Structure 1
Amino acid sequence: MSRTTRSIVVTLVVLVIVAALGFVYASPYIALDRVKRAADARDAQTVNEYVDFPALRASLKDQIAALLTRRVDIQKSGNPLAIIGAMIGAALVGPLVDSYATPDGVAAILNGIPPRGDPGERPPQAGDGAPANAGNAPASGVTAARQPPKEPPQTTAGYRSLNTFVVTYQHGAGDARYSAIFHRNGLVSWKLVAVDLNG
């Protein structure tokens, strides 16, 4: 093998390695784009490939329970009826978690509409707009879809560790932040596994 041929082979090998490393690095960004598009389209089959629903459900349950606990702590010195309301809200954690651990819920989370822990809250439904025209509640009035924000949220995304990728959402300087957390599931596969409502 001539020196020129060897140098071409080495160059090609280096290029392949650099391209592979670039793809591995970009893989969570690609996964985020794919799951967001699938969730917006309510493509449940594709969403299932990118979301660990049992882990997401457990995370949502913990986060929403923590929200309600903080509310009870804040309202202890206030109106006793507010405490009763918070306790009723705690009983509704299960249905709220179930409504957000769906393609509709994933679409809401990835579009800047996280759960707030309000009794009867549900994410915008498919077909209600982009992501939803959430003003249409069922006739019973028991549940209410979240009103989407007027402006899309500011997002930042990046690695928290080698196997954890975090997307943080915030609507404005004074608004609360929250994060969607992805974990590596193989070399280039990622899954949404948790939400951190505290940013």
Structure 2
Amino acid sequence: MSRTSKSVLTALIVVAVIAALGMFYASPYIALDRIKRAADARDAATVNAYVDFPLLRESLKDQVGQLITRKIDVQKSGNPLALLGAMIGAALIGPLVDSYATPDGVAAILNGMPPRGEPGEKPPAPSPSDPTAAGTPPASSQPPPVTSTPAQPAPKQPPQTTAGYRSFDTFAVNYQHGAGDARYSAILKRYGLFSWKLAGIELNG
């Protein structure tokens, strides 16, 4: 092999190594983008591929339980009705977890709308006018009818987000709507070298 050929081969190896390292580092960001797009589109098959639902359910159960416990501790000396509401919420952790361990719930978590530990709480359903919602027909030229149905709660503004590695196999996306607002984090876990899945949530409010 000539010196030129060796130089070309060495350059190709270096480029391949750099590309692999870049892909290795960027893999959780790529996975996060795919999860969010799939969840917003209610693409259940893709969401299932990028979410570890058993781990997410366990995390939701633990975090919502802690959130409700903190509410009860704060309200012990306050309004008895508020305390009763928190206790009812504790009894409804199972249904809340069931509702958030879904594509709708994943979409809510990744769009700044985590569970708040309130009785009967469910993630907001996709808007009928949202073209990304699965099964939504193309918008017609007629304006949608006005109804009196109350709107689902939604953040007033897009959340501020930061993201980064916590360890070799843990990646966190942190959400906060403004100064003084409660923060929470979506946790991705590594599966293999380049694959990541949403596996948990941390509710800090």
**TM-score, normalised relative to structure 2:** 0.87
* Paired amino acid for 1:169: Y
Q: Which residue of 2 aligns with 1:171?
A: 177
Q: Which residue of 2 aligns with 1:193?
A: 199
User: RMSD value over aligned CA atoms?
Assistant: 1.9
Contact in 2 for aligned 1:178/1:197 (Cα 8 Å) = yes
1:22-41 matches, within 5 Å, as: 22-41=22-41
User: 179-188 or 78-87, which moves further after superposition?
Assistant: 78-87
Unmatched 5+ residue regions in structure 1? 138-144
Change (3 A) 1:48 1:85: same
Aligned mates of 2:120, 2:149 — CA distance in 1: 14
Aligned mates of 1:46, 1:15 — CA distance in 2: 31
> Are 2:110 and 1:110 aligned?
yes
* Paired amino acid for 1:190: W
Alpha-carbon offset, residue 126 of structure 1:
2.5
Encode CA deviations 1:145-179: one digit per residue, 9 max, x unaligned.
85111211111111000100000011111211100
Encode CA deviations 1:39-78: one digit per residue, 9 max, x unaligned.
0000000000000111111111111111111111111112
Aligned mates of 2:202, 2:57 — CA distance in 1: 12
**TM-score, normalised relative to structure 1:** 0.90
Q: Which residue of 2 aligns with 1:11?
A: 11
Higher relative contact order at CA 8 Å, sep ≥6: structure 1 or structure 2?
2
Contact in 2 for aligned 1:53/1:193 (Cα 8 Å) = yes
Q: Which residue of 2 aligns with 1:181?
A: 187
Alpha-carbon offset, residue 189 of structure 1:
0.4
Q: Identity, % of aligned pairs?
A: 70
Aligned mates of 2:180, 2:83 — CA distance in 1: 27
Change (3 A) 1:129 1:173: farther
Contact in 1 for aligned 2:86/2:118 (Cα 8 Å) = no
Aligned mates of 1:16, 1:54 — CA distance in 2: 36
Contact in 1 for aligned 2:96/2:122 (Cα 8 Å) = yes
Contact in 2 for aligned 1:168/1:180 (Cα 8 Å) = yes
Change (3 A) 1:129 1:71: farther
Change (3 A) 1:52 1:175: same
Q: What SS does structure 2 have at the residue aligned with 1:17?
A: helix
Alpha-carbon offset, residue 89 of structure 1:
1.1
Contact in 2 for aligned 1:108/1:123 (Cα 8 Å) = yes
* Paired amino acid for 2:6: R
1:38-49 matches, within 5 Å, as: 38-49=38-49
Encode CA deviations 1:9-30: one digit per residue, 9 max, x unaligned.
0000110011011111110000
Change (3 A) 1:178 1:136: farther
Q: Which residue of 2 aligns with 1:82?
A: 82
How many residue pairs were aligned?
Answer: 190
Alpha-carbon offset, residue 124 of structure 1:
1.0
Aligned mates of 1:72, 1:7 — CA distance in 2: 68
Encode CA deviations 1:99-156: one digit per residue, 9 max, x unaligned.
1110000000000000000111111112356699xx946xxxxxxx851112111111
